[in-house]
Structure 1
């Protein structure tokens, strides 16, 4: 009986060391920012209501961003963003990304540190899906992950294009998207 207890106690730290690798990392507060810069004006919007999962065993990642949760400096910008002429967030309430961290096997997610990440996947906005390739950083600290990535998206690829009028000069054709979040095992 004592031998069994000793074996259990000896095996417990080993089992706990690998617990992180078996669960998925989850975040319910992914921050997404987009930035548009033109000679007419800069437009920046922030959204703190995204969700995300990372599976360390496969490298698969998934993010969902509620589009109506973007906050703008000016109320009129937010109104235009949500309107049927722009992103029609009532008809298309979420943006989604599904992909893979292609170099996940080079990371030791049980060891504190920062790791460069290469992500390949597909972004869906307004029911239009396009491939996205992005570099980022995964930082491990005390069993939790923090992620950050910055990449461009071309609005016309997602059905957002302006041929004339103020939007054609005020909104950049390609915007910079920054995603970051803190993830814990669930």
Structure 2
């Protein structure tokens, strides 16, 4: 996991002062699929993120196998049949906030991140809305967005087509600490 964090930090041009770089080692990500037969939900708190407040650059990395489901069989099918987690172990987002936020002032700010979302080995340009919150110097970022399975070549077999929605609702929540 530390290796992923180092990669994310190197991705930034870390010529900035340390107080501009913030990291989160336990970002919470949930996925939800509403389908006619059975809803599917999974959660992980193993997401890693880095945020450069001076440039607005933002990066996330989520280990696919870290998602936990209520039913072990769902988790197995998710990893083996759909996400091919051994072949594609990470989902990532690398981008930048479109507007600068003054993180020295408390408040809740609507933000938009534009960048590349890579899931299942397929990269897609995305514009993702979110909310950046500053509370007593603590920076948090949250977002809810949809990801279509077909956009990332995640095949849903015809046999279980009614069990899984064509798009998944993704919810992300990260609280950052200054990187030292």
Q: Same fold (TM over 0.5)?
A: yes
Q: 1:56 maps to which residue?
A: 53
Q: 2:82 maps to which residue?
A: 86
Paired with 1:21 and 1:90, the residues of 2 have a C-alpha distance of 35
1:98 aligns to 2:112 (yes or no) = no
Aligned-pair distance for 1:22? 4.2
Segments of 4+ moved more than 2 angstroms = 19-23
Tell whether the 8 Å contact from 1:64 to 1:97 is kept in structure 2 after alignment.
yes
1:172 aligns to 2:169 (yes or no) = no
Paired with 1:111 and 1:55, the residues of 2 have a C-alpha distance of 16
Aligned-pair distance for 1:163? 4.3
Stretches of structure 2 lacking an aligned partner (at least 5 in a row): 1-15
Corresponding residue to 2:110 among 116, 120, 125: 116
Stretches of structure 1 lacking an aligned partner (at least 5 in a row): 1-18
CA RMSD of aligned residues (A): 1.6
Tell whether the 8 Å contact from 2:18 to 2:178 is kept in structure 1 after alignment.
no
Paired with 1:29 and 1:89, the residues of 2 have a C-alpha distance of 20
Aligned-pair distance for 1:23? 2.2
Tell whether the 8 Å contact from 1:143 to 1:184 is kept in structure 2 after alignment.
no
1:140 aligns to 2:98 (yes or no) = no
Residues matched between the structures, number: 164
Corresponding residue to 1:45 among 42, 50, 53: 42
Max Rg structure: 1
3-state SS, counterpart of residue 76 of structure 1: helix
